[in-house]
Structure 1
């Protein structure tokens, strides 16, 4: 039903179906953060307040008699925009103001606003002469305030209503400009265009992350992403620290395996960053919840090869990002002294590579149907300089499972730290492909069994620490790790590619001497060679004894044979001619880590069975 027909049928009923007032009210979206507030999407405003609908309202609406004495074309140009004006404010018009007045049943006041020369660009009008709930509304241009005559004769309650409704019309629009995230300083009373605003999914000492769903009319981000995004709130209110983090993110070259920063804003003296949302969660969610026993096939192996190479390449992008000295953070910086190349003087490192910080964008298209993995959480990213103050590694937060030996050896931390962490992640990733989540849990248990000089505590990190009296501490790769690698390579389902990958991780990445580790660039180049071979050599990347192509039920011979993976690597004792095996508990609650409670950096969320999303 057109507005004209509606007004002709019942000229005095502005609540009639199809009336301008009713259309505006029914288009208001409840604000998920405050049940008493709403916002009007820009698309709805533009579709409802058009030249024809404004004309029909003025000529046939409930205030038609009042408007008979006015030039309707002039009012319509004022509301919908004057294309002949050189004033950019007049070009945009006063749709929002007109919509507010219609909702307040004060549409006749549009003439007074037109006389004052107000337009949508002047919103929000600001409060002046506040006394309790009473105040005037004035226009603010720069630092100057200008009184208005358009509210003359209004009741205080109506002024208050206009003041609240003007925020309904101003939900921000988040946009990428020239390929970069835009910073928005937002008013404290802004109403966000959120359709959903979830509870925090993760939080640390530095930030809180939650999912938000943005109204599609209020962002211009790539359509393939959908409307859900990850909103990161920094706990620090220090603008300088926020600027440093954003500068670092913008300096890093875009990479399909790095999360993308889409927008940043300041709201009520807090700082926020908006990233893409990973529908699948993180890599740990994939292993533990989505597919606990993946079927090994060529597609999965190719995806593993592609994604592991992409992650290494993305990490290399972080490591090769240079910042001028004046942009570098001054906190928690460790001076690189590894001789790992001249770029160490001003370079980035992630500092917290682990499965929880590799997000699984399952919604993104991929040749192998498994989505895309992306490194996230640059909250620990640090840019180093030889000119900055050296600090002890104990002042830098790390994940205990994936930390490199130099942390406990109290050596300086730099880019090789990430390469060690990446090696740990790769070993768990390959374990999941070959043995599923139970295998990842068993691998953790095997590392837990092996104790070092800290006899009273158990750790599932990948190295042992030795502290002999009178000597400097030293570290060695855990024997359980070396044996696990050999165990994986002997599995019938382990194809030549996976075997070579495991050997490369052991011999070139997981080295206690950080100076001997390959760089992230070396890792990326090596994996790129292996991935290309996987693409062209079927026998290289797929074992004929693995996956559904080997067994109709999709299990490898190891799984189908009924033998316990733990039995092949745990010690066996003979007591009275009976075989007793040191059994490994494989239930979800079975793997528990005893943590060194004297170390404030230790956290129970490093347990692979308990790690949060």
Structure 2
């Protein structure tokens, strides 16, 4: 019918049963495979038939096995089984990929029995995007399986583009949730009917669980998940990589938070460390050891998570506008003098700042004193001074500290009426245990999970 030769339909139907044609016999790629009833078509009509037949063929998308890091090469002529693709797309990874909401025909996939809604991540054409796709697929497949971790459902190449399909998060990412809703209507935005202190603590616990699973050896959990046998640093924890999946509780819309995007994740060495150069960091949430040390530890992620928790608490107590103001306050506090090679002040949105520890014997004009080599030391005091001057050669000692804007912001939150005792206890833990400059004194992800589990249990007992 698409080529205007309806008269051949009867001929196709009347063929012997052994040569009968059905959709499963498509596509016909050459004259030798064409049914006799179609051999009378003109060459141009056959070409049109070859093109039109693909519109009746659609791929069946199968779920990846947990250990499978390969992807399917789909036939370019056949269409993808998408019933709907959102026109709006979110650009991520520096423009290398976009994410869109799609619906897939339930007869054409085994990705999920309970939903036909998914997220399609499409990578741009080119070798750089292909390399990033392969790395992201491999890293995500190495991630542990857990209820609070977003899995890659399938991966394929179609018409020279690489694609990943993931579960669809109807609430978007955590930052989008913050900009859309508020914990109370008076803070601007739509009031979140599901919000409560218990929800805040429970969802923060869920994210902590996902991180603890990523950091710990393989153990089967009560939730049916599995801890990864090789510890990994996620290395990209930020609000945009925490997705919000819609649920219904008590007749109201609610959201469950899950950790996503293990594209930058790296397995740690036997001593649970990783060279700094192997990590692609998230600029705002990176910990101070990224700038100061040669190796990082699993607690790298704990600092990042502490930053996210602090912004989460800010949203809960003061609303999204306060989160934006907090960003501006951090930007307004620059690193100390002589801490980098950049000229002038170094403005950067981080939660820490670098400061120089200039010795008293250091000449701020940039010159370093040194006794005349021909002058003999006449006392121990002179000899000591000479050694000090010589030691001043080289780089100025630099240390890090939590920004004053962060400390004052935390103090401001504590003074708010909406900062109830449970949130204040959580805030104290973030400040004193997670946002700690010395990574060796920072709590690990399991301790974060234990703390929040204890808090949620106590909250549940009160209710």
TM-score by length of 2: 0.75
Unaligned runs of 5+ in 2: 219-226, 338-343, 359-394
Q: Which residue of 2 aligns with 1:107?
A: 10
Q: Which residue of 2 aligns with 1:572?
A: none
Q: Would the alpha carbon gap of residues 268 and 253 (structure 1) be closer, same or farther in structure 2, given more than 3 Å must change?
A: same
Unaligned runs of 5+ in 1: 1-20, 26-99, 127-135, 140-146, 323-342, 539-613
Q: Would the alpha carbon gap of residues 196 and 104 (structure 1) be closer, same or farther in structure 2, given more than 3 Å must change?
A: farther
Q: Secondary structure at the match of 1:365?
A: strand
Deviations 1:61-105 (A, max 9, x none): xxxxxxxxxxxxxxxxxxxxxxxxxxxxxxxxxxxxxxx998674
Q: Would you say the 8 A contact 2:140–2:261 is kept in 1?
A: no
In structure 1, what is the Cα distance between the partners aligned to 2:279 and 2:83? 37
Q: Which residue of 2 aligns with 1:159?
A: 46
- After superposition, residues 354-433 of structure 1 pair within 5 angstroms as 354-361=238-245, 363-366=246-249, 369-385=253-269, 392-393=276-277, 396-433=279-316
The correspondence for 1:473, drawn from 391, 398, 417, is: 398
Which one has the largest radius of gyration? 1
Deviation at 1:284, TM superposition (A): 1.0
- After superposition, residues 204-283 of structure 1 pair within 5 angstroms as 204-205=93-94, 206-222=96-112, 224-233=114-123, 242=133, 245-283=136-174
Deviations 1:479-518 (A, max 9, x none): 2212222222232221221111111111111111112222
Q: Which residue of 2 aligns with 1:450?
A: 333
Q: Would the alpha carbon gap of residues 255 and 212 (structure 1) be closer, same or farther in structure 2, given more than 3 Å must change?
A: same
Q: Would the alpha carbon gap of residues 298 and 239 (structure 1) be closer, same or farther in structure 2, given more than 3 Å must change?
A: closer
Deviation at 1:176, TM superposition (A): 3.6
Q: Would you say the 8 A contact 2:299–2:442 is kept in 1?
A: yes
The correspondence for 1:195, drawn from 58, 71, 83, is: 83
In structure 2, what is the Cα distance between the partners aligned to 1:298 and 1:159? 60
Q: Would you say the 8 A contact 2:104–2:116 is kept in 1?
A: no
Q: Would you say the 8 A contact 2:83–2:103 is kept in 1?
A: yes
Deviation at 1:243, TM superposition (A): 5.4
Tell me which moved more, 292-301 or 257-266. Answer: 292-301
Q: Would the alpha carbon gap of residues 346 and 216 (structure 1) be closer, same or farther in structure 2, given more than 3 Å must change?
A: closer
Q: Would you say the 8 A contact 1:230–1:275 is kept in 2?
A: yes
Q: Which residue of 2 aligns with 1:488?
A: 413
- After superposition, residues 511-550 of structure 1 pair within 5 angstroms as 511-538=436-463
Deviation at 1:437, TM superposition (A): 1.1
In structure 1, what is the Cα distance between the partners aligned to 2:101 and 2:74? 20
Deviation at 1:345, TM superposition (A): 10
Q: Would you say the 8 A contact 2:135–2:263 is kept in 1?
A: no
Q: Would the alpha carbon gap of residues 179 and 474 (structure 1) be closer, same or farther in structure 2, given more than 3 Å must change?
A: closer
Deviation at 1:214, TM superposition (A): 2.4
- After superposition, residues 346-361 of structure 1 pair within 5 angstroms as 346-361=230-245
Q: Would the alpha carbon gap of residues 465 and 178 (structure 1) be closer, same or farther in structure 2, given more than 3 Å must change?
A: closer
In structure 1, what is the Cα distance between the partners aligned to 2:6 and 2:138? 43
Q: Would the alpha carbon gap of residues 442 and 251 (structure 1) be closer, same or farther in structure 2, given more than 3 Å must change?
A: same
Deviations 1:125-177 (A, max 9, x none): 33xxxxxxxxx3455xxxxxxx8756433211231232123211211232447
Are 1:461 and 2:344 an aligned pair?
no
Deviation at 1:441, TM superposition (A): 1.8
Deviation at 1:123, TM superposition (A): 3.0
Deviation at 1:191, TM superposition (A): 1.2
Tell me which moved more, 273-282 or 405-414. Answer: 405-414
In structure 2, what is the Cα distance between the partners aligned to 1:391 and 1:276? 32
Q: Cα RMSD (Å) of the superposition?
A: 3.6
Deviation at 1:472, TM superposition (A): 3.3
Q: Would you say the 8 A contact 1:113–1:150 is kept in 2?
A: no
TM-score by length of 1: 0.58
Deviation at 1:410, TM superposition (A): 4.5
Aligned residues: 403
Deviation at 1:213, TM superposition (A): 2.7
Q: Which residue of 1 aligns with 2:428?
A: 503
Q: Secondary structure at the match of 1:413?
A: strand
